[in-house]
Amino acid sequence: MKENIDIRVQKTYNMLVTAFLKMLEEKKYEEITINDLCKEAGIRRATFYQHFNDKFDFFVFTVKTIQKKVKENTKELYKSDSTETFYINLCKYAIQLLEQNEQIVYSIFQSNMFSLMADILVDEIAKDVEMQLKEDNIDKYNQTMLAQIITGGFLQLAKWWFLNKTTVNKEEMLKEVETLIKNNQFLK
């Protein structure tokens, strides 16, 4: 995504993303059409196609846009005093984000786009995890592979908790995660 974007283009992107997220609260991804999205955003269909090839391309853009905003809001996470604290805070923030966007997340989990979203998230978060592993000199394992395992595990755990939170409350889950992380030999 370009950093220096014309203000009008940025406004178009914001309108589209806002409309898309609003629509995801009511419909699954597969049920949203470009026509409906453009109508909700108040832009012309031709304008949409000036910026995106199709709905799939726009979905990828939306996930990356949200991820960039989340990363900006979690800069404090990366200033953790230990690897364990970093992962515990990352898990807490992920759960908070899921709760704040419950209907949208549920809609995506129920759609065919979850695996794509997961791939995008894992790729980006794994880079940060790998940097944390390097910073903490955890080099007895291949850091790239360990970062993928940790990130994929966190993502799957977040999905599992989200879909099963009526049987395991947030506090119980976070306490268990904290215990697992603090006792994990991979991080030492």
Q: Given this model, what pLDDT does residue 99 score?
A: 81
Please tell me what DSSP assigns to residue 148. Answer: H
More confident residue, 70 or 167: 167
Per the CB < 8 A criterion, the answer to whether 139 and 93 are in contact is no
Q: Above 80 in pLDDT, residue 41?
A: yes
Classify 7-55 by CATH class.
mainly alpha
Helix (H), strand (E) counts: the chain: 9, 0
Q: What is the pLDDT of residues 54-106, one digit of tens each?
A: 999 999 999 888 888 777 776 666 666 777 788 888 888 788 777 877 888 88
Sign for the CA dihedral angle at 145, 146, 150, 156 comes to positive
Residue with tokens 């690897």: 83
Provide the whole-model pTM.
0.77
Q: What is the pLDDT of residues 100-158, one digit of tens each?
A: 778 888 888 888 888 888 888 888 888 888 888 887 777 777 888 888 888 888 888 88
Helix (H, G, I), strand (E, B) or coil at 33: coil
Residues forming CATH 1.10.10.60 domain(s) in the chain: 7-55
Q: Given this model, what pLDDT does residue 1 score?
A: 45
